[in-house]
Structure 1
Amino acid sequence: MHPSFHCNLCDHQEKSLAQGTTCALTARKPEFSNTCSKITLNQKFEDRLKEVNIHYTKLQKQQLLTYVYFFAFLSIGLAVIAGGYLFGVYVYDQGFISTVPLTIMAIGLAPLGMAIGTLHKHRQNLASAKRNKAKVDAVLKPYNITYTIAIDFGKSYHGVQEVYADLKLKGLPGIR
């Protein structure tokens, strides 16, 4: 694991465009193999831990809705395409050739794109959130820090979701 993952949770981290991540105590880039003896995990650490877990849990809760959305728009798209095809067969049987069925079938591609795009975006976001959570958990493991977090989602006002997170840490220096 890269030492900067540890620094992202530490209060001593300093960032600059010129040097990147450095330690405020040593004024150098991090130089340790498994653990840092000078790491300080306080509010920045707790905020990051809550943020990662909240984001991951929120995406997991949205999974059912995403699949319902996917299947609904997939069904609509396929129904429109099938309707366009059947209309084309009907018009052809009447002795006419028309581009209207092709237009209807092309319109049916829009809901298919919406269905596939939404599912793909959700799966990418979930995988990213899972990776971020795994990175934070991997940093905590060598320090023997464990946690439990209870997340409760409240009401949503104008697109802003109320979230309550109760974080309990075990193994953090100063906490038993």
Structure 2
Amino acid sequence: MNENSKKLFKHCELCKNKSQNLEIGIFCTLTNNNPNFIVLCDQISFNENLEKKITEVNIAFEKTKREKNWVYSYFIIFLLMSLAMFVFTYKFNDYIANILSKSSGRPILIGSSIKIIFICISLVMLGYAFGALNRHRFDSKKNTGDKHELDAILKLYNIEYDIKISFKDRILMPTDIKTQLKIKKP
């Protein structure tokens, strides 16, 4: 499927004349064909799909914006913890070896095992730090792109909207999301 076809299907997601089957995919029920317009569809008819899509896209966009400070805090905390564990392992390497040699006489095996455990813990914390950051960056890019794409399609049809989203939540766990959507059609 080429890039232009993907853009045309985005118009169809908002239309009530859209249908879908496994053989030909998404098609228009008026023409019984895949979308074949150039820039905009003359026969598009908006319904609750439009309201649903606007709400979904804007909620995802706002959630990503709200998570930003938490994600960067999470990244910094786990990065600092990981670096502290690396420094601890490096600085106290000789100290641990001396203690173990006095107590057991076998500092190499036990000391090496402890160092490997500390390094593994450091790497796991580093993975948590960068994993959360990368997930947020991916989600942010996707949600921002979806919002710009939806807004561009609606601009073609001279449709504007005003949405107010309120979150009642615990930390990063929305329990109640309320939206007020006003669509201004020409």
Q: TM-score, normalised by structure 2?
A: 0.84
Number of residue pairs matched by the alignment: 170
Measured on the aligned residues, the alpha-carbon RMSD in Å equals: 1.8
Q: Which moved more, 1:92-101 or 1:102-111?
A: 92-101
Could you tell me which residue of structure 2 aligns to residue 163 of structure 1? 177
| Contact 1:66 1:122 survives alignment (8 Å) | yes
Given candidates 108, 125, 136, the residue that maps to 2:139 is 125
**1:114 Cα deviation from its structure 2 partner:** 0.4
Unaligned runs of 5+ in 2: 102-106
Could you tell me which residue of structure 2 aligns to residue 102 of structure 1? 116
Q: Distance in 2 between matches of 1:85 and 1:145?
A: 61
| Contact 2:169 2:176 survives alignment (8 Å) | yes
Report sequence identity in percent.
33
Q: Distance in 2 between matches of 1:46 and 1:18?
A: 28
Structure 1 residues 77-92: aligned runs within 5 Å: 77-91=82-96
Q: TM-score, normalised by structure 1?
A: 0.88
Larger fraction in helix: 2
For the pair shown, which has the larger CA radius of gyration, 1 or 2? Answer: 2
Q: Distance in 1 between matches of 2:39 and 2:46?
A: 16
| 1:24 maps onto 2:29 in alignment | yes
Could you tell me which residue of structure 2 aligns to residue 41 of structure 1? 46
| Partner AA of 2:17 in structure 1 | H
Could you tell me which residue of structure 1 aligns to residue 104 of structure 2? none
Unaligned runs of 5+ in 1: none
| Contact 2:64 2:136 survives alignment (8 Å) | yes
| Partner AA of 1:77 in structure 2 | S
Structure 1 residues 137-152: aligned runs within 5 Å: 137-152=151-166
